[in-house]
Structure 1
Amino acid sequence: MTTVHTVVDSPEGELTLVSRDGGLAGLYLANEQYRPAQPTFGHRDDRPFTEAKRQLDEYFTGTRTAFDLPLALRGTPFQVTVWRALLEIPYGETTTYRELAESIGRPTAFRAVGLANGKNPISIVVPCHRVLGSDGTLTGYAAGLDCKRRLLDLEQSGRPAKL
């Protein structure tokens, strides 16, 4: 298994991108709560990330509404199910933890869905920021609620994020 990483600038600060065997395995914001230790990212190699960088730049300028990247999701079967369900939430739209739990056939597991959502290793690309509390309020985001609000504002307004 080959794991490499790079670091790119974004309107949300530095992003660490991690590739595992050619698939995007991680996208971590600098202050992310569940960010793994640096040694797990492998050595730095910018080459595998050209397409991911291009798509992220387009996302942050408001010209990309969906990512088309190979993903290397690793987690428990439940976590991977939740992360795959996140990929179904359309750009500019939101859902609740309860609705997400219902969508995977586990209507009473909304708290577990919230925990899995918070441990999503590929933030932004796997859009965990599109999930809200049952009452529609911003709740829990591993990179902070301010970041979550800015990402939602970008998607809902179509206006580019400012550096």
Structure 2
Amino acid sequence: MNCQASQSMESQAYHYGVMRRAIDLIDAGGADLTLDGLAAQMAMSPAHFQRIFSAWVGVSPKRYQQYLTLGHAKTLLRERFTTLDASHTVGLSGSGRLHDLFVRWEAMSPGEFARKGAGLHIRYGWLDSPFGAALVMATDRGLCGIGFAGEATRDAIWADLTGRWPEAEFVEDRAAVTPWAQAAFRQQGETQVHLIGAPFQIKVWEALLSIPSGQVTTYSEIAQAVGHPRAVRAVGTAVGRNPVSWLIPCHRALRKSGALGGYHWGMPVKRAMLAWEAARTDARGGQAFADRNNFTP
């Protein structure tokens, strides 16, 4: 990774750290918390705080507060709900569009899955991401694991991911995983993904890949798309077991009621991802979603 790209990712990670602390303050202070009050609690000037927020997400802190509210999930379902058609979801050719990134993915065979990773050589490294520190893992065929240190310790994240493939060989090699991770986190170029999971899980993860950035769907829609309309609970479990979070966007799956549902790496990370995507989608052009709902800058 070149110096400029490294600095960009480190900057994004720093901005997420600021934003994460702000989420906690907004939760505690409510949507009426002013820019001056929020900046003061962050020990920053209002101008400096606003610059950091705007650089990270593309909108002002005041508008971003609206995206962070729990009620925003219901608004997303109402305004940006995506219906997944099984005929277009199941049996894809092995590639899908995600953000501005082209993802090529390959699934391991059921036999390989049953062997619990035996014979797999998995490289790993801790990298900065837009959503904090991330443990990134890859086989020779592509990224196979991404875990975010939002709510858990690094040791817990390590145990979580390595425990999925207990017979694999793990070798620390930050340089090997960086190019694919850089493409994923910077949303530029092409990256490869090696999906390691049971056949039903892979079908669910494939459906997740068809949800556009800035939009959401429901667990029941995913169940319908994979041909098991009554298996909503099993779908929820499979979504939670997605090993390549963010790249396969399990954060875009919501409950039918509009509740966020769970998220394996912590609810603040899920809320941050949804808010970041929605704000950037609006900032890129067209009539702003926030304006349609009378959000104030």
**Cα drift, residue 139 of structure 1:** 0.7
- Within the candidate set 34, 40, 43, 2:171 is matched to 43
Alignment of 1:7-156 (within 5 A): 7-30=126-149, 31=152, 35-37=160-162, 42-59=170-187, 68-156=190-278
Give 1 or 2: higher helix fraction.
2
Gaps of 5+ in 1: none
Partners of 2:208 and 2:250 within 8 A in 1: yes
Please give the root-mean-square deviation of Cα atoms over the aligned residues, in Å: 2.4
Check whether the contact 1:22–1:48 (CA below 8 A) recurs between aligned residues. Answer: no
* In structure 2, C-alpha distance between the alignment counterparts of 1:144 and 1:27, rounded to whole Å: 14
**Other structure's SS at 2:190 match:** coil
Deviations 1:39-81 (A, max 9, x none): 867111122223223224424xxxx5xx732111111110011
Q: Equivalents in 2 of 1:58, 1:76: separation in Å? A: 29
Aligned residues of 1:101 and 1:113 also touching (Cα < 8 A): yes
**How many matched pairs?**
154
Q: TM-score, normalised by structure 2?
A: 0.48
SS at match of 2:191: coil
Q: Give the conservation status (yes or no) of the 8 Å contact 2:201–2:239.
A: yes
Per-residue CA deviations over 1:62-117 (Å, capped at 9, x if unaligned) read xx5xx732111111110011011111111110000001111111111111000000
User: Quick one: structure 1 residues 5 and 81, their matched pair in 2 at CA, closer, same or farther if it must change by over 3 Å?
Assistant: same
Structure 1 contact 96–134 (Cα < 8 Å) conserved: yes
Q: Does structure 2 conserve the Cα–Cα contact (< 8 Å) formed by 1:18 and 1:41?
A: no
Could you tell me whether the CA contact under 8 Å between 1:6 and 1:46 is conserved in 2? yes
Q: Which whole-Å CA distance do the structure 2 matches of 1:4 and 1:47 have between them? A: 9
TM-score by length of 1: 0.84
Q: Which portions of structure 1, spanning 4 or more consecutive aligned residues, are displaced by more than 6 angstroms?
A: none
Which ranges in structure 2 are unaligned for 5 or more consecutive residues? 1-119, 284-297
- Asked if 2 retains the 8 angstrom alpha-carbon contact of 1:96 and 1:132, the reply is yes
Task: Indicate how the Cα distance of structure 1 residues 116 and 123 shifts in structure 2: closer, same or farther if over 3 A, else same.
Answer: same
- Counterpart residue identity of residue 127, structure 1: P
Q: In terms of Rg, which structure is larger?
A: 2
